[in-house]
Amino acid sequence: MRKQIAAANWKMNLTLQQAEALMDELNATPHRLSENQEAVFGVPFPYLINIKNKLAGKKNVFVAAQNCYSKKSGAYTGEVSAEMLQSIGTDYVILGHSERREYFNESHAMLAEKINICFEYGLKPIFCCGEPLDIRETGKENGYVETQLKECLFHLSAAQLTGFVIAYEPIWAIGTGKTASSEQAQQMHAHIRAVMAKKYGAEVAGSISILYGGSVKAGNAKEIFGQADVDGGLVGGASLVAAEFAAIINSLK
């Protein structure tokens, strides 16, 4: 059974004091995780150790960096390497978020390098893909996302992709208050799984957790997560509210 995952992406928000208070509040808010479910917290780099310590001893709960650099080490002032993240016990790394692609011009080739280096250091990528509004409106979203998958992931082995995590984020639904309908989410998630199955086989594709990211809230999570190929969510704004994110965790199937 593939993992069902509620992943928080705090983005560039919260002071350390606010972040620790949020985790304390969330820990005190009733939520449950079964054996095949995980909660992942994508927090800013300076807070990774602190939040990791807050989660010590808790089962099926992990921390994620929001990015890493594509090189092992060197004269790259301001960047953070996979080895650094490994050394502090980071579990996951969010890669290819649409904001990184748009604001920092991250290419498919760079993302493929980042994925490779995460595997080299035992970090689990959460690979983001998704289409902008103009692509959706012209009906080209399937081909657009398929190209992202092919150019960033198809160099990997079947073993590397077994249990992999992909987050589909319709860019037009991030931070806009718009949300893809549950039917739209299911259609794209099924397409992603079919693309992966064509390349790697049904067994590998069936093991991949595909998360939906795009204005997920407590009020819509259960319906979205209830779709056959939706395995949880990558949650932005709602993950900054303890009660909201606890309810989203409880919406995992």
Q: pLDDT tens for residues 219-241?
A: 999 999 999 999 999 999 999 99
At residue 180 the predicted structure's pLDDT band, cuts being 50, 70 and 90, is confident
pLDDT at 98: 94
pLDDT at 172: 84
Residues 32-81: tens digit of each pLDDT = 999 999 999 999 999 999 999 999 999 999 999 999 999 999 999 999 99
| CATH number belonging to domain 4-249 | 3.20.20.70
Q: What is the mean pLDDT of residues 160-166?
A: 98
Q: What is the mean pLDDT of residues 81-99?
A: 97
pLDDT at 232: 98
At residue 168 the predicted structure's pLDDT band, cuts being 50, 70 and 90, is very high
Alpha-carbon gap, residue 235 to 212, rounded angstroms? 8
pLDDT at 131: 96
Chain centroid to Cα 137, Å, comes to 25
Domains of the chain, by residue range, sit at: 4-249
Taking a C-beta distance cutoff of 8 angstroms, is the pair 224, 14 a contact? no
Percentage of the chain lying above the pLDDT 70 cut: 100
Q: pTM of the predicted model, to two decimals?
A: 0.96
Alpha-carbon gap, residue 163 to 5, rounded angstroms? 12
| Crossing angle of the two packed helices 141-153 and 108-120, in degrees rounded to 10 | 50
Catalytic residue among 38, 99, 131, 169: 169
Catalytic residue among 31, 97, 189, 191: 97
- Residue 177 pLDDT exceeds 90: no
Please confirm, yes or no, whether 169 is among the known catalytic residues.
Answer: yes
Structure tokens at 164: 């992999």
- Residue 175 pLDDT exceeds 80: no
Please confirm, yes or no, whether 79 is among the known catalytic residues.
Answer: no
